[in-house]
């Protein structure tokens, strides 16, 4: 099955509803990081060149179907207006007469943004009624929120049922980059770096990637579970006891397939995860009452040495308690190592993106995904409902 693309659609002077992912951090009423807004500009600018009138939909945060003042999209609309150099009209409503009136008055080349889609409970319920109401506003639907494609929501999978629909330029760019990791021609050695808190959150993608990569580097809380599976005492570290057996099986499976799972060989540990009281342990158990909060200097060197040989690298997830500055060193150092690598690097969303930005090396990465959850589902080979809704026969 193939899906329709923006370039397959007749958008000339049409009213086009565009689902974007402007779930950006706000600070004191302003957008703190506009990366996701900038990522959507090629699609929006193309549509404006075609003299389309744009109705923009986005969510922000997790308001769970309730109106929350701090999650309104006014600062986002202002930032988009600055970037597009076009006035972006903003509705305080998600749906209803006020929205309909605003959209009816839109002329070719004008842009409006509706309020946070998740203020309406029908969004996450994939309400047909809500999708139909939105669809009645426009002639065409463009899906350009890659970060939500793994969700079946009214503003993506729902809308695609009622309008001529296609994937935007950002979605196409994301699929091309991630598709290269699933293809037979990936440049080897192919390495994956996976971090984050829990093995259970990424079990599917670990299993899927182990069939494709030549080696895998594990860090963060998930590495603790693998270290525990090797018999190491982990003190008060986050360990998923119910996944220890699975971790052991994965290591055995990797060994049989000639794949290497590389784990930390030293750890920064602390009695707290919000203080800088720390010490490094090497080839020994974690002190009772203490917990692993980062990979140690020997691990960083080991990871750097291994990654220097890679032809392709995919990275998702921090290698320590990245949100605490004192425990972010391992994650930042790996970001720097990737910037010096000759490999094609794909950064899989979330804290990994924050890390390459904090290290000042984002411009040296091959591709930075705007949606970590969607990227992992895609690499796992799972269906993305928002993408499936765009499929056509042929």
Same domain, 164 and 211: no
Instruction: Tell me the whole-structure pTM to 2 decimals.
Output: 0.93
- List all residues 6 or more positions away from 105 whose beta carbon is below 8 Å from its beta carbon: none
389 within domain boundaries: no
Give the neighbor-by-neighbor strand order of the sheet with 165-167: 88-90, 111-113, 53-57, 15-19, 140-143, 165-167
Same domain, 189 and 159: no
**Of 147, 166, 350, 372, which residue is the catalytic one?**
350
CA 261 to chain centre: 24
9 within domain boundaries: yes
Task: Name the percent of the chain lying above pLDDT 90.
Answer: 92
Spatial distance between the Cα atoms of 316 and 216, rounded to a whole number of angstroms:
11
385 within domain boundaries: no
The pLDDT value recorded for residue 2 is 87
Same domain, 138 and 250: no
Contact 319, 219 (CB under 8 A): yes
> What 3-state DSSP class applies to 69?
helix
Same domain, 130 and 192: no
Q: How many domains does the chain divide into?
A: 2
**Of 158, 320, 372, 373, which residue is the catalytic one?**
373
The pLDDT value recorded for residue 273 is 83
Same domain, 149 and 236: no
Question: Catalytic residue at 259?
Answer: no
Burial class of 10 by CB neighbour count within 10 A (0 to 12, 13 to 18, 19+): exposed
**Of 13, 14, 198, 306, which residue is the catalytic one?**
198
> What 3-state DSSP class applies to 266?
strand
The pLDDT value recorded for residue 393 is 66
Contact 144, 40 (CB under 8 A): yes
The pLDDT value recorded for residue 271 is 93
Question: Catalytic residue at 350?
Answer: yes
Same domain, 20 and 50: yes
Predicted confidence band at 245 (pLDDT cuts at 50, 70, 90)? very high
Provide the CATH number for the domain around residue 304.
3.40.50.1260
42 within domain boundaries: yes
Predicted confidence band at 348 (pLDDT cuts at 50, 70, 90)? very high
Domain with 12 in it: 2-168
Q: Are β-strands 367-368 and 344-347 bridged in parallel, bridged antiparallel, or unpaired?
A: parallel
Same domain, 16 and 155: yes
The pLDDT value recorded for residue 1 is 62
Predicted confidence band at 132 (pLDDT cuts at 50, 70, 90)? very high
pLDDT tens, 157-178? 999 999 999 999 999 999 999 9
Task: Name the percent of the chain lying above pLDDT 70.
Answer: 99
The pLDDT value recorded for residue 274 is 79
Instruction: Among 122, 138, 168, identify where a domain stops.
Output: 168
Dihedral pair phi/psi, residue 85, rounded to 5°: 60, 40
Same domain, 219 and 358: yes
Same domain, 145 and 286: no
pLDDT tens, 301-344? 999 999 999 999 999 999 999 999 999 999 999 999 999 999 99
The pLDDT value recorded for residue 37 is 97
Predicted confidence band at 268 (pLDDT cuts at 50, 70, 90)? very high
pLDDT exceeds cutoff 80 at 394? no
Instruction: Among 120, 135, 168, identify where a domain stops.
Output: 168
Same domain, 212 and 333: yes
> What 3-state DSSP class applies to 130?
helix
User: Can you tell me the mean pLDDT for 335-361?
Assistant: 93
392 within domain boundaries: no
Same domain, 122 and 203: no
Predicted confidence band at 63 (pLDDT cuts at 50, 70, 90)? very high
Question: Catalytic residue at 198?
Answer: yes
Q: Mean pLDDT score of the chain, rounded to an integer? A: 95
Same domain, 122 and 240: no
The pLDDT value recorded for residue 369 is 95
360 within domain boundaries: yes
pLDDT tens, 202-244? 999 999 999 999 999 999 999 999 999 999 999 999 999 999 9
Spatial distance between the Cα atoms of 286 and 270, rounded to a whole number of angstroms:
10
**Of 15, 36, 212, 291, which residue is the catalytic one?**
36
Predicted confidence band at 284 (pLDDT cuts at 50, 70, 90)? confident
Dihedral pair phi/psi, residue 42, rounded to 5°: -55, -40
């Amino acid at each position: 099955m193939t899906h329709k693309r923006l370039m397959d659609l007749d958008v000339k002077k049409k009213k086009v509803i565009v689902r974007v992912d402007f779930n950006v951090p706000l600070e004191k009423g302003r957008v703190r990081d506009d990366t996701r807004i900038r990522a959507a500009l090629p699609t929006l600018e193309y549509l404006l060149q075609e003299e389309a009138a744009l109705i923009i939909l986005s969510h922000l945060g997790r308001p769970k179907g309730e109106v929350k003042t701090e999650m309104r999209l006014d600062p986002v609309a202002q930032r988009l207006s600055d970037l597009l150099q076009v006035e972006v009209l903003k509705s305080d409503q998600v749906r209803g007469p006020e929205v309909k009136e605003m959209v009816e008055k839109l002329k070719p080349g004008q842009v409006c943004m509706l309020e946070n889609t998740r203020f309406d409970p029908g969004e996450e319920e994939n309400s047909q009624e809500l999708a139909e109401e939105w669809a009645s506003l426009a002639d065409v639907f463009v899906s350009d929120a890659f970060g939500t494609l793994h969700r079946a929501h009214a503003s993506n999978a729902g809308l695609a049922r009622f309008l001529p629909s296609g994937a935007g330029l950002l979605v196409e760019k994301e699929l091309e980059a991630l598709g290269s990791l699933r293809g037979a021609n990936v440049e080897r050695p192919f390495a994956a770096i996976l971090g984050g808190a829990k093995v259970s959150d990424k079990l599917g993608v670990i299993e899927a990637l182990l069939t494709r990569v030549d080696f895998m580097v594990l860090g963060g809380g998930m590495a603790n579970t693998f270290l525990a599976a090797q018999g190491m005492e982990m003190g008060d570290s986050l360990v998923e006891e119910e996944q220890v057996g699975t971790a052991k099986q994965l290591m055995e499976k990797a060994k049989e397939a000639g794949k290497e799972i590389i784990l930390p060989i030293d750890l920064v540990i602390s009695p707290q995860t919000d203080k800088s009281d720390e010490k490094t342990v090497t080839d020994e158990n974690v002190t009772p009452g203490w917990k692993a909060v980062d990979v140690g200097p020997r691990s960083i060197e080991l990871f750097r040495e291994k990654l220097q040989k890679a032809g392709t690298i995919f990275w998702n997830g921090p290698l320590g308690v990245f949100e605490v500055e004192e425990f972010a060193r391992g994650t930042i150092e790996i970001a720097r190592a990737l910037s010096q690598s000759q490999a094609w690097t794909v950064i899989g969303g979330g804290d990994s993106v924050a890390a390459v930005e904090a290290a000042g090396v984002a411009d040296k990465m091959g591709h930075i995904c705007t949606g970590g959850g969607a990227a992992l589902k895609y690499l796992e080979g799972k269906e993305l409902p928002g993408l499936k809704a765009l499929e056509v026969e042929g």
